[in-house]
Amino acid sequence: MGDKREDEVYGLGGGWFTTKPTLARWNDAGKPAREKCAALIATQGEETLSISTGSRYCVKSAKGRIAAVTVDALDSTSGSYMGSITVWDTAP
């Protein structure tokens, strides 16, 4: 995996000639909704976020779909993790 850390999640990077970041950490107590995830990514998007058990993220796919990801288990030795994901259709 080159110089990428195994305990991080990577999205599309933002920059002068590239797209805006596509990851955001969901810290609210409630369940994420598509519209709130999309707004969070637009306002607080990151290129890289650390992963820990129980952490939740909003992500945007290369095709513009929004998803919510929850990390259920993490094996820091191997860098693998298990989680649950909800993917919403693209906005109308």
Encode pLDDT of 2-13 as tens digits.
Answer: 554 445 566 665
pTM as predicted: 0.76
Residues of the chain whose pLDDT is less than 70?
Answer: 1-19, 92
Q: CA–CA separation, 27 vs 25, rounded Å?
A: 6
For the CA atoms of 40, 69, 47, 89, the dihedral, rounded to the nearest 10 degrees, stands at -60
Looking at the domain assignment, is residue 92 inside a domain? no
pLDDT at 14: 55
pLDDT at 5: 44
Burial class, 67, CB count within 10 angstroms (exposed 0-12 / middle 13-18 / buried 19+): middle
What is the extent of the structural domain holding 25? 8-87
pLDDT at 38: 94
Q: CA–CA separation, 46 vs 25, rounded Å?
A: 8
pLDDT at 11: 67
Looking at the domain assignment, is residue 1 inside a domain? no
pLDDT at 79: 73
Domain count for the chain = 1
